[in-house]
Amino acid sequence: MKIAYDYERVKEQLTPAALATRPKTLWRYAELLPLDSPERAVDLAPGFTPMKRAENLGRLLGIRELYLKDDTMNPTYSFKDRPTAVAVSKAVEWALPAVGCASTGNLAGATAAAAAKARLPCYIFIPAGLDETKIFSALAYGAKVIGVQGTYDDANRIANLVADRYNWGLVNINIRPFYLEGSKTLGFETCEQLGWETPDRVLIPMGSGALLTAIQKSLEELVTLGLIRTHSVRICGSQPRGCAPIVSAFERGETRIEPVEAPETIAESLAIGDPASGPEAVEIIRRTGGFADAPLDGEIIEAQRLLARTEGILAEPAGGTVIATLKRRLDDGTIGPDERVVCYVTGNGLKAPHTFSGMLTELITVEANFEEALRVLEEVA
Amino acid sequence: MVRVLFSSAVRASTNGEKEVELPFAGTVAELMQALAERYGATFESRLMERGELRRYINVYVDDKDIRFLQGAQTRVGDGSTVLLMPAVSGG
């Protein structure tokens, strides 16, 4: 199922002048979201996150116009608040008795928070063994969390069967078309925050590939509405090397996805071995002249630290994956130093503290003595 | 007997049937042909392409994705449970 709109009508309503008066959340694009009663939307005020000019990181890597779309600033600290806002609102419109999802972590918290706000029961299916920092928030929001012994894809299969059995709205499964529409708002905001101009290139982390397809759709819709003149953005995707089925298909010159049975990467939020939107993502990357790239876990961790130290943004490994790819492709000349590039930082690093735990060796301890503290500071300064 | 389960998104191709039990022994490819004969042209056109599974249909045999077994040549027989489900995953 694909969702379409009456664009001629939307064109009359969704103008820059109208947007100037609207709340700074994703609901400002209500005409391009598939709700019948937007006034009843489940609202945690997601979206319209900062678009940050990354001068320090850009200078270090050798690119003049680099932007970071900082979606760590969402209500549950990841971009998943966007699709969930729309999907859970749709579940409320349809009076479904419960909601839920299959999740690698970020979606769990986002769905559980929206369900709490909507006062709906929530059931979350995760691969057992997921980092506990990604689970506790869902539990705190009151969801029932079911750990499936297996991979994300096993959890997803079980969730599919559960969705069949009960009349629940599992946001990324049986109400997925609505869910995907929420992710489009990242693309709308990118252009609006650039003054209704487009970047030359965007770098997007890929798990299922759905975010990448949603951003492509958002750009196409903005062209249809005349809010941007053309869409010549090179759309690029990044996955961790330990789970890179979309990148592999791109590198093979195919669209067919060969699933990864046992993903092995620190980037848990991207560890989807059988990405549903993979074929479409590959086609978009190819059609727009983008690239697909897969850095190693070590490069991802290094990039997370680089981002934190240069721009003050603590990202989870998905953000590190994108920044690592940016560095690799600037180094090999694929990305030029004069390009205007937007990188999507989709989740907060506090959700994956283990990726920073190696830094504890850098902790400096001193005796509770001022002279001693000065001596140590002189050594390390 | 082989038990075949159809997820809700597939049932439009099976006259609404949620599951079926068949006396069958053979490969998944042969099972799909048998199902196509049972349910007719709609099943074949929606779920198959030139005699093979469409890319957006996943098949599991006893909870295991056949792509990690022998693909369409995976054998099923007495006591097997086969699940047909659309490829919907990820956030």
User: Per the CB < 8 Å rule, is A172 touching B88?
Assistant: yes
pLDDT at position B91 over 60: no
User: Within this chain, do residues A105 and A234 fall inside the same structural domain, yes or no?
Assistant: no
Handedness of CA A246, A252, A255, A261 (dihedral sign): negative
Q: Which domain holds residue B45?
A: 2-86
Which chain B residue has the Cα nearest residue A78?
B91
Structure tokens at A358: 């190696």
pTM of the model: 0.92
Domain-embedded: residue A266: yes
Same domain, A190 and A90: no
Query: Is position B55 within any domain?
Result: yes
CATH value at residue A295: 3.40.50.1100
Q: Do A160 and B85 lie within an 8 Å CB cutoff?
A: yes
Q: Is residue A104 predicted with pLDDT exceeding 90?
A: no
Q: Between A and B, how many residue pairs show a Cβ–Cβ distance under 8 A?
A: 68
Q: Flag whether A39 is in a domain.
A: no
Least confident of A138-142, A160-164, A367-371: A160-164
Please report whether residue A374 resides in a domain: no
The CA distance from A169 to A175, in Å, is 6
User: Rounded distance, CA A234 to CA A329, Å?
Assistant: 13
Q: Is residue B91 part of a domain?
A: no
Task: Indicate whether A377 belongs to any domain.
Answer: no
Return d(Cα A74, Cα A72) in angstroms, integer.
6
A141 in the same domain as A83: yes
User: For the segment A233-277, what is each residue's pLDDT rounded down to a tens digit?
Assistant: 999 999 999 999 999 999 999 999 999 988 999 998 899 898 989
pLDDT band at B90 (very low <50, low <70, confident <90, very high): low
Chain A residues within an 8 Å CB radius of B89: 102, 152-153, 156, 172, 208, 272, 274-276
Question: Quick check: is A313 in a domain?
Answer: yes
Nearest CB partner across the interface for B90, out of A174, A210, A261: A210
Mean pLDDT of A17-31: 96
B44 touches chain A (CB under 8 A): no
Lowest mean pLDDT among A19-33, A237-251, A349-363, B63-77: A349-363
- Domain span holding position A99: 79-179
Total structural domains within chain A? 2
Any CB–CB contact under 8 A between B81 and chain A?
Answer: no
Q: What is the CATH number of the domain that holds B18?
A: 3.10.20.30
| pLDDT surpasses 90 at A164 | no
Overall domain count for chain B? 1
Contact B91 A104 (CB under 8 A): yes
In a domain, B78, yes or no: yes
**Digit-coded pLDDT (tens) for A300-345:** 999 999 999 999 999 999 999 999 999 999 999 999 999 999 999 9
Strand (E) or helix (H) holding B20: strand B19-22
**Looking at the partner chain, which of B8, B55, B90 has a beta carbon nearest the beta carbon of A256?**
B55
- Answer left, alpha or beta for residue A243, where phi above 0 means left and psi between -120 and 50 means alpha: beta
| Residue A227 shares a structural domain with residue A241 | yes
Query: Chain B: nearest CA to A144, how far in angstroms?
Result: 19
| Inter-residue long-range contacts of A369-377, CB under 8 Å, 24+ positions, other chains counted | none
SS (H, E, C) A287-346: HCCCCEECCCHHHHHHHHHHHHHHHCCCECHHHHHHHHHHHHHHHCCCCCCCCEEEEEEC
Residue B8 touches chain A, beta carbons under 8 Å = yes
Q: What residues in B contact A173, CB-CB < 8 Å? A: 88
Q: How far apart are CA B90 and CA A313, in angstroms?
A: 25
- B7, B89, B91 member nearest A153 (Cβ): B89
pLDDT of residue B89: 62
Is B21 contained in some domain?
yes
